[in-house]
Amino acid sequence: METESREFLETLLTTPSPSGFETAGQRVWVEYVSQFADDIYTDAYGNAVAVHEGEPDAPEIAFSGHADEIGFIVRDILEDGFLRIGMIGGSDHTVSKGQHVTVHTETGPVQGVIGQTAIHLREPGSEEYEKIEEQFVDVGAADDEEATELVEVGDPITFSTELYELHGNRLSARGMDNRVGTWSAAEGLRHAVENDVNATIYAVSTVQEEVGVQGAKMVGFDLNPDAAIAIDVTHATDNPDVASKHKGPVTLGDGPVVGRGSANHPNVVKLARAAAENAKIEIQLQAAGIRTGTDADGFYTSRSGIPSLNIGIPNRYMHTPVEVIDITDLDSVAALLGSIAEQAGSVRSFAVEI
């Protein structure tokens, strides 16, 4: 991975971007793509689109990742100064207690912890995971008067984690889901620009995927491309504690994962597989019999139906503060998108033949 691309990835991963509060992360993304995009624009909710202008009669393809991450939100401020919290997206209540968190306020970050009663004071044999709504944040305030000077109801909260390099090519951080997708969309656009491909390529960084693929619905309606490719993390199932019924062929470090079924349009799948073969990129296949759980689900039902595809990046421990990815998968995804951009110029229609 080139130095500038690596620095961009690290900045994305260390910039908090919870659903509904993505502005800081979107600024990072826009600043990076502005170096090579022909045009950039944003909408009222902060979805960001960068463009490579191709030939007028060539297809228009969108490469999209979502900018938002899961987190928490201040729900109530109690008399004793503690904060009751709610979920932003699919926050995991089994990993939240005993964690450092940051409350993102209008005046700056406030540090806190999600309280966990010491093991010495808990009743043996009665262990259970409290729901997020029953957990609380301690910011050090003595009472509600002190707490309200620091935070407000509705302030978002994220885990206070860092980016760590593991052995080999592995990285760990919160929010891999899905800063690695927006990174990939930007890098795919860069490949398209450098190769001056015939197709018009849109790199898209959407908002609020974690709360119902809302940004993709907005962008899909407004942009209306000939095809949309959503790049998101997918479950690597190669760690020991994955139940056998969830075991699949997805392995960390074995390359991009091309979805098949449901939202994944067969002709866009065919394009991706041909592009991978042409660029000699190893891919993995994944079945999606009902839904993808990604922005592809929002794109393919926009307007009269946008042919869509989900390309997955293998990710261990999704929706925890210690998500793990392999850098080689990111490089392969970026290269695959570049190859798709080159191959797409020869496509006349993505519609199925009946």
What are the residue boundaries of the structural domains of the chain, listed by start? Answer: 3-69+174-344, 71-159
Q: Which of 209, 282, 323, 353 is catalytic?
A: 209
Binding-site members are 66, 177, 210, 232, 319
What 8-state DSSP symbol labels residue 245?
Answer: G
Binding-site members for Zn(2+) are 66, 177, 210, 232, 319
- Write down the pLDDT at residue 247: 67
- Write down the pLDDT at residue 331: 98
What 8-state DSSP symbol labels residue 253?
Answer: T
Per-residue tokens: 61: 């393809």
Integer CA distances (angstroms), 316 to 130, 152, 250, 251, in order: 24, 34, 10, 9
- For residues 10-40, one letter each, b for 16 or more C-beta atoms within 10 angstroms of the residue's C-beta and e for the rest, the string is ebbbbbbbbbbbbeebbebbbebbeebbeee
DSSP per-residue codes, 121-171: GSPTT---PPPGGG-EEE-S-SSHHHHHHH--TT-EEEE----EE-STTEE
Give the amino acid at 108: G
- Write down the pLDDT at residue 202: 98
Radius of gyration of the chain (CA): 21
- CATH of the domain spanning 3-69+174-344: 3.40.630.10
- Write down the pLDDT at residue 125: 75
Longest Cα–Cα distance of the chain, Å, equals 70
Per-residue tokens: 169: 């090519």
71-159 carries CATH number 2.40.30.40: yes
Confirm whether 209 is a catalytic residue: yes
Residues (pLDDT < 50) of the chain are none
Lookup result for tokens 């690597």: 236
Give the number of other CB atoms < 10 A from CB of residue 203. Answer: 29
Q: How far apart are CA 40 and CA 36, in angstroms?
A: 10
Predicted model pTM: 0.96
Within 13 Å of residue 103, how many CA atoms lie on the same side as its CB? Answer: 31
Q: How far apart are CA 181 and CA 292, in angstroms?
A: 15
**Cβ contact 204:219 at 8 Å:** yes
Residue 6: CB partners within 8 Å, gap ≥ 6?
none
